[in-house]
Amino acid sequence: MPEVVDHDESWPVVRSVDLHRDDWVVALREDHLQRPGHPEDEPFTRLVLEHPGAVVILAVDEQERVLCLWQYRHPAERTFVELPAGLLDVAGEDPLEAARRELVEEAGLGAAEWTPIGSTYSSPGISSERHHYFLARGLAEQDRGDFVAHHEEAEMQTGWVPARELHAAVVDGRVGDGHTVIAVLMAQAQGLLEV
């Protein structure tokens, strides 16, 4: 049996075609792959959604409450209970620095303590999107600077939810945002969240 660990690997790409690429965050391309060691096989096609990655912040206050956001997501036509999060859309930015920036922008908060709790790929069968999860404690209000919310973010609501209540909502399916589910369960499994 192979070792239980993900590892980097790249199969030969015979041809790649951009299907959509502009100045927005994501791009869509069509790659034609060759199975390694099988030059007689016809290349096969895979769609790849290029994504810079993102950060998710589980911000917990001294009362063991989690800062949550209620945000509309059009592709799902649903408002989700989410955590502060944002794209790694600044060239060369470290995920922790992006997490610090996003917590200020989305919540007007800074944190004295940051703990990495893991990284996951959202849907590796089609996307390169990777999320980095952080636990933030020692929270204090911080000026958002010149940040202005637009579109769905301008309608976003925020609130503090007891960690036990959020965990219960995750476990019983009332909260379905994958990144919120992952962050809460990883932090709880690592003993970082009292539920």
Within 8 A by CB and 6+ apart from 79, the residues are: 70, 71, 72, 73
Backbone angles phi, psi at 37, to 5 degrees: 80, 10
Structure tokens at 179: 């990144």
Q: Which of 42, 153, 155, 194 is catalytic?
A: 153
Within 8 A by CB and 6+ apart from 104, the residues are: 110, 142, 143, 144, 145, 147
Is 106 tagged catalytic? Answer: no
Helical (H) or strand (E) element with 182 = helix 178-189
Backbone angles phi, psi at 116, to 5 degrees: -70, 135
Active-site residue set:
153
